[in-house]
Structure 1
Amino acid sequence: MTMKIAGHRLTQEQLACEFSDVAPLLDATAAAAAASRCHYCYDAPCVQACPTQIDIPSFIRKISHGNLKGAAVDILSANPLGGMCSRVCPTEILCEGSCVRNHPGDEPVRIGALQRHATDSAMARGEPLFKRAPETGRRIAIVGAGPAGLACAYRLALAGHQAIIFDARAKPGGLNEYGIAAYKTVEDFAQREIEWLHSIGGIEIRTGVALGRDVTLDELRKQYDAVFIGFGLAGVRELALEGESLEGVMNAVDFIEQVRQADDLASVPVGRRVVVIGGGNTAVDAAVQSRKLGATSVTMAYRRGVENMGATWAEQEFAQNNNVTIVTHANPVRLIGADGHVTGVEFDRAGERLIIEADMVLKAIGQTLVPVGIDRELLSLDGGRIVTDENRQTTLAKVWAGGDCATHEGLDLTVQAVQDGKLAAASIGASFELTAIKAA
């Protein structure tokens, strides 16, 4: 999309302030105080709410005793991307939402902030926390360097296997690198976390390699002992409405990527009046970043009620605190333009006509699987996802899948993708052991 940069722009100093860390790291005193509030519950509900099953009471107790290395080991042994998850997890509906202190008159333990305190400390020290097992000679191809692929590769490498990751993008990280708001992952954290993962050894990352274009699934199955697919949902749903091709209309995920990859935030095009269509976390990230870049007004329009929005209550509140207006029960019917540029969006709201003026419209209505390089006769799909069993094994021999591209329990979250990668790695390793037993 070509678009003129809005007339009202913030200074470099203002932009640096707007895009500073939205949840700064706890200092030692604050971390100790936060840790002291934990009841260290037996059979803790916070653990059950965590898709990766981190032993939360254990790591918090270690923090309270000043043992940050031990706390990091607890976290990263269960979730190798624990640093990123501490930044982006919707803790309000997971661990903190299940905390026994989460009731009127009290507040939950700050589990996410404590997790970041421990993992960031471990990464800053740079000392090894885990030792890789001896080489097994097994080689696994991993398609996609997002959270699922990285977690799978790390677990396989830790077990002594060789993990070769292929990714179509120029940089690894997937959603963590390209699809999350810049104010959540400052100071190039996604790449620093990948460097930490890579330091275990046994992991090779090949960027600029796309399935179906540069390599086929059949080739990977023949050349490697197993294949894991974790390339996410690369497609974007369209509105299929009049005016969608107008200048100034773009996909929210592309806008977020522009912000994340910009060397100079002042160069990122943004409208004065921005309308974001959608109600999920992507919509919030796009809306808030538009406001932070200097948009005069930003409106999030969602076709149903707030209770149906994909964005959590905390994300909705965050958007509103950043001066984003949320309009619900607004179903878009057409995009209005003049001289080839968008000027507004017309909505049907409870049978009445509502027009919201806009010079930029961001579409955030969901993403879809792009099944390039996948033979649907060999690899079953269901609802636009690759079918897997509880161990993330597909219907095709030697192939596993996880993350947003695959069927799984739970929400499409970074932490769920990590768990998928873990489960697949364990299943792949078990298949090698079974093969060895049969051959003996």
Structure 2
Amino acid sequence: MAEFSTPTTEHEFAENFAQLKPLMNRTEALYESARCLFCFDAPCIQACPSGIDIPQFIRQINSGNDTGAARTIYAANYFGNACGKVCPTEVLCEGACVYNLQEVKPIEIGRLQSYATTKAIQENKKLFAPGADNGRRVAIIGAGPAGISCACELRSLGYEVDVFEAQAQPSGLTVYGVAPYKITNEETLAEMAYLQAQLGYSVQYNSPISSREQLAELEAQYDAIFLGIGLGETNELGLPGEDKINCTGAVEFIAELRQRHHEIKVGRRVIVLGGGNTAMDAASESARLGAEDVVLAYRRGKEEMGAYEFEYDLAKGVGVKGLFNVAPLEIVGEDYVTGVRFIRTETAGGRVREIAGSEFELPCDMVIKATGQAKRAGFMSLIPGLETDGKGRIVADAVTGQTTNPKYFASGDARNGGAEVVNATAEAKLAARGIHAFLSK
């Protein structure tokens, strides 16, 4: 029996995908902020990749200065609102809270962050302004967290900025790849509109940059180019039957879900292949869409999964079952998926070994592959002198983000291989300063 009924309206979808971190009201924010100890050597700041002065903004909320709190947050992280919702705070700032040492519930830093920034967005508080025009232009490829963060910082430094985005909406995975129970489309797009209105960068949507000719044109027209291109589609597994109907990639599945909501259809029996955070999201989302049986299949043991423990707990909480030490051999079926043929595995010396004669078949009518994303190798090969490492990641200076082609800078998933939204925004802000230093010589 399914834990959730299949949603048929937007209201039912919203109920099934209720926010994990609902917006606080003023009373809740005052109460929670009063619990903070305002640590002098605050470990929460050290745990935040963007270095937000967390005790400072919490103190500002507690003293009634909500606008000041939003300013403190945004001064460090242009995706301050989104990160309050989508960050794995359980293992970052909240995971570092000193209350954990006393077995006391840590401060709800993420929700307090969302409270202050949401209020600033709703009241259209003026927190930013473009810097004095310095006569230089920068092109940004990709309007995801890295691209938009870089655009904001460059505008504050006085650069003219044009962002080229292949999709119809901004913010990359924040609106196309994050589970709907973490942040809504409306919240994401409200923050994007807020930033653009204040800092005045230009975004050209449905404008993919995909040829050497287009890149050469950008190179001629702009003083520097920033790559915030992220990653590509879900990796192929090379399995027989992978092309069958109802066998899809997790990235593509989540992107469609974020755009179509209750209009998307899910199988009654779903198998999700993978053990990372994206696999957990895809499994949890399938259950919330009304699937009667959702199995998360991973080739290693549970303790070896790449997913955060709280993400796996979240999936289990909505009825997802774990199947460990199994490797898929074939997607079974004629035109449509009817099952997956597995073989049992064991891990020895860090390597996965298949156990001969242990094959079995598990019936299903949908397979979701959460097996990582491909690098954009084809695109990167169009840029002269741009080097990538052995894992296909862009090679760039750790501080400035400058690549081996001096005119190009990069941050985000294309550079780090796939991390959190907060990592992309933090890297991109540094890269914007790297661009500024490079062009100021």
Residues 232, 37 of structure 1: alpha-carbon distance in 2 compared, 3 angstrom cutoff: same
Are 1:211 and 1:372, in contact at CA under 8 Å, matched by a contact in 2? no
Distance (Å, rounded) in 1 between the aligned partners of 2:364 and 2:143: 36
Shift of 1:308: 2.6
Shift of 1:104: 5.7
Task: Please give the secondary structure, in 2, of the residue aligned with 1:236.
Answer: coil
Listed as ranges, the gaps of 5+ residues in structure 2 are 346-354
The worse-fitting range, judged by mean Cα deviation, of 79-88 and 210-219 is 210-219
Within-5 A mapping of 1:377-392: 378-382=385-389, 383-390=391-398, 391-392=400-401
CA-to-partner distance for each residue in 1:396-425, whole Å, 9 max, x for gaps?
Answer: 0211001000148xx611000001110110
The worse-fitting range, judged by mean Cα deviation, of 168-177 and 395-404 is 168-177
The residue that corresponds to 1:100 in the other structure is 98
The amino acid across from 1:255 in the alignment is F
Within-5 A mapping of 1:305-316: 305-316=301-312
Answer yes or no: is 1:369 the counterpart of 2:375. Answer: yes
The amino acid across from 1:393 in the alignment is Q
1:322 maps to which of 318, 325, 336: 318
Residues 176, 214 of structure 1: alpha-carbon distance in 2 compared, 3 angstrom cutoff: farther
Within-5 A mapping of 1:290-439: 290-337=286-333, 339-350=334-345, 351=355, 352-375=358-381, 378-382=385-389, 383-390=391-398, 391-407=400-416, 412-434=419-441
Distance (Å, rounded) in 2 between the aligned partners of 1:15 and 1:407: 34
The residue that corresponds to 2:7 in the other structure is 10
Residues 247, 45 of structure 1: alpha-carbon distance in 2 compared, 3 angstrom cutoff: same
Are 2:273 and 2:367, in contact at CA under 8 Å, matched by a contact in 1? yes
The worse-fitting range, judged by mean Cα deviation, of 53-62 and 169-178 is 169-178
Residues 40, 104 of structure 1: alpha-carbon distance in 2 compared, 3 angstrom cutoff: closer
Distance (Å, rounded) in 2 between the aligned partners of 1:422 and 1:175: 18
Task: Please give the secondary structure, in 2, of the residue aligned with 1:40.
Answer: coil
Shift of 1:304: 1.6
Are 1:344 and 1:356, in contact at CA under 8 Å, matched by a contact in 2? yes
Distance (Å, rounded) in 2 between the aligned partners of 1:214 and 1:56: 44
Task: Please give the secondary structure, in 2, of the residue aligned with 1:141.
Answer: strand
CA-to-partner distance for each residue in 1:110-144, whole Å, 9 max, x for gaps?
Answer: 11111111111111111201232211111100000
CA-to-partner distance for each residue in 1:207-249, whole Å, 9 max, x for gaps?
Answer: 1222224853332222101100011001321111111111110
1:172 maps to which of 170, 176, 190: 170
Shift of 1:354: 3.9
Are 2:128 and 2:199, in contact at CA under 8 Å, matched by a contact in 1? no
Shift of 1:187: 4.9
Are 2:138 and 2:161, in contact at CA under 8 Å, matched by a contact in 1? yes
Are 1:227 and 1:398, in contact at CA under 8 Å, matched by a contact in 2? yes
Distance (Å, rounded) in 1 between the aligned partners of 2:272 and 2:67: 42
Distance (Å, rounded) in 2 between the aligned partners of 1:27 and 1:286: 30
Distance (Å, rounded) in 2 between the aligned partners of 1:79 and 1:16: 28
The residue that corresponds to 1:4 in the other structure is none
Answer yes or no: is 1:72 the counterpart of 2:81. Answer: no
The worse-fitting range, judged by mean Cα deviation, of 309-318 and 392-401 is 309-318
Distance (Å, rounded) in 1 between the aligned partners of 2:256 and 2:379: 27
Distance (Å, rounded) in 2 between the aligned partners of 1:155 and 1:402: 14
1:51 maps to which of 45, 49, 52: 49
The amino acid across from 2:37 in the alignment is H
Are 1:148 and 1:403, in contact at CA under 8 Å, matched by a contact in 2? yes
Q: Output the TM-score relative to the length of structure 1.
A: 0.92
Q: May I ask how many residue pairs the two structures share in their alignment?
A: 422
Distance (Å, rounded) in 1 between the aligned partners of 2:25 and 2:119: 10
Shift of 1:22: 2.6
Distance (Å, rounded) in 1 between the aligned partners of 2:251 and 2:165: 18
The residue that corresponds to 1:437 in the other structure is none
Distance (Å, rounded) in 2 between the aligned partners of 1:97 and 1:42: 17
Distance (Å, rounded) in 2 between the aligned partners of 1:213 and 1:377: 12
Are 1:20 and 1:186, in contact at CA under 8 Å, matched by a contact in 2? no
The residue that corresponds to 1:5 in the other structure is none
Answer yes or no: is 1:160 the counterpart of 2:154. Answer: no
Shift of 1:196: 0.9
Listed as ranges, the gaps of 5+ residues in structure 1 are 1-7, 435-440
Shift of 1:11: 3.9
The residue that corresponds to 1:125 in the other structure is 123
